[in-house]
Amino acid sequence: MPVFRLCLKIFKKKLPVMMIYVGLFLVISLLIASATRTEREKGFVQSKTNIAVINYDASPLVTGLIDGLKEIANIVPLEDDSSALQDALYFRKVTYILRIPEDFTDKFLKGEEVWIEKTSVPNSVDAVYVDLKVNQYLRIAQLYNSKSSIDSSKIVSHIHKDMEMETKVNLNGGEELKQDQSYAMYYYNYLAYSLFSVLILGISTIILVFNNQDLRRRNACSPIPAGSSNFQFILANGIFAVICWAIMVGFCIVFDYKNSNTTNTLLFLINSFVFTLCAVSISFLVGNLVKNQESISALTNVIALGPSFISGVFVPQEFLGEEVLKIASFTPTYWYVKANNTIANLNSFDMASLRETMGYTGIVLGFAIAFLSLALVVGKKKQLSHEA
């Protein structure tokens, strides 16, 4: 297998340059991944907002309301002084002030129209929650008051009993993942750049060497059949690509071994392997188009870096403009990153859930086939022009 051995020797000679790419990739991917690793919520702790209650009605109904509010808010004692209250709101000492008038309970129990005055920080989410609590309390109180003639103390005890009742909610679906795939997602996304760079550098160089007309003719004079020579050539490049892929994904499995034993990892592997095939096809095309080694280095940067920037490798796709993403959708990197992002959020692995991921990976495969066909056409055309 002389051609096979020759390819490996040339790969070996290019190893130092490729190792720079791999080394840089590992360092940067580790940095990026650790910087962007997100802690997912495993529990929920309710926080309390600060409110003030200016109460001029010390009835059991109002006391009950204030006790109810204490469950969701801290009651901050404030004097009923308009400038003091305004300062408290301005400096966020409180976000909500509730003013209960003197004859509130009497009017409320008689069914007359009655108002509670509220002042809150503009656009405050906390205020909405306090509003909900106040409305909920008063509606239940109104309900008991209208249906039976019970005194206000009993109404309060009924309201508290009712409000203590909770309904258990089970969330089904992909909101909470069994394992954190964020590291893997960033790693595999960044893999697009490094894999592209290394494969173009390695495979295009080999093709460039073998496309040298003098060497091509010299090899054609040998007794090695063209089919065997091509097979050895493809085998060497294939093995090179698989080794590059295996090394790069291997590091992710080592670094993130706690989260690696999942179906998500398997899907990441499949997606990245398909992307490797696509990168190989593009490398074949580049090798057939370029005329010298300097062009390969320049093209490696353009082909690997360009799509990485606009497809969400370095900057998440959510932060990229619509127009940019539209342009990026003409590159395989965009679909590869999209597939990774989808895989990272997968929790269910039935056909319906996988359809989206498979679609994206399928598009990457389509790109691979298209680029390979183009590379074969260009290569054949070149060969025929040499033989004419």
Partner 1 sequence: MIVHVENLVKRYGELTAIDHLSMDVRQGEIFGLLGPNGSGKTTAINCILSLLKYDKGMIEIFDKPMTPYAYDIKKDIGIVMQNVAVFEELTVYENIDYFCGLYIKDKTQKEAYVNEAIAFVGLGDFIKFYPKKLSGGLLRRLNIACGIAHKPKLIILDEPTVAVDPQSRNKILEGIVELNRQGATIIYTSHYMEEVEQICSRIMILDKGRIIAEGSKEELKSMISLGEKISVEVFNLKDIHVKEIEALPNITSVVYQDHTLVIKSHKGKDNLESVLNYVRKNGINFGTIYSEKPTLNDVFLEITGKELRD
Q: Which is nearer to partner 1, 229 or 271 (CB)?
A: 229
**Alpha carbon 240 to its chain's center:** 30
Show the site string, 4-43: x = touches partner 1 by CB under 8 A, - = not.
-xx--xx--x------------------------------
Instruction: Report if residue 136 touches partner 1, rule: CB under 8 A.
Output: no
Taking CB under 8 A as the criterion, the residue among 134, 224, 235, 354 binding partner 1 is: 224
Q: Which of 218, 326, 380, 381 binds partner 1 (CB under 8 A)?
A: 218
Helix (H, G, I), strand (E, B) or coil at 55: strand
d(CA 81, CA 95): 16
CB of 233 to partner 1, least distance (A): 13
Q: Minimum CB separation from partner 1 for residue 8, in Å? A: 11
What is the smallest separation between the CB atom of 230 and partner 1, expressed in angstroms?
Answer: 14
Nearer to partner 1, 9 or 161 (CB): 9
Least spacing, CB of residue 10 vs partner 1, in Å:
5
The dihedral over CA atoms of 351, 354, 358, 359, expressed in degrees to the nearest 10, equals 90
Over the range 360-373, which residues count as b (16 or more CB within 10 Å of their CB) and which as e? Answer: bbebbbebbeebbe
Cα dist from 214 to 13, 246, 332, whole Å: 21, 35, 35
Here's the x/- map for partner 1, 349-388, by CB under 8 A: it reads as: --------------------------------------xx
Alpha carbon distance 192, 305 (integer Å): 9
Q: How far is the CB of 385 from partner 1 (least distance, A)?
A: 12
| CB 222, min distance to partner 1, A | 4
Judged by CB under 8 A, the residue of 28, 177, 209, 235 near partner 1 is 209
Q: Determine the Cα–Cα distance for residues 329 and 366; give it in Å rounded to an integer.
A: 13
Q: Is 295 in the site for partner 1 (CB under 8 A)?
A: no
Least Å distance between CB 226 and partner 1? 8
Stretch that binds partner 1, among 62-70, 113-121, 149-157, 212-220 (CB under 8 A): 212-220
The edge-to-edge listing of strands for the beta sheet with 73-75 is: 73-75, 49-55, 96-100, 117-120
| # chain residues binding partner 1, by CB under 8 A | 22
Query: Measured in Å, how far apart are the chain's first and last C-alpha atoms?
Result: 29
Enumerate the H helices of 178-321 as residue ranges: 182-199, 205-211, 213-220, 226-255, 263-289, 293-300, 306-311
Find the shortest distance in angstroms from Cβ 12 to partner 1.
9
DSSP for residue 97? E
Nearer to partner 1, 86 or 213 (CB): 213
DSSP states along 104-147: HHHHHHHT-----EEEE-TT-HHHHHHHHHHHHHHHHHHHHHHH
Q: What is the contact surface with partner 1 in residues (CB under 8 A)?
A: 2, 5-6, 9-10, 13, 209, 212, 214-215, 217-226, 387-388
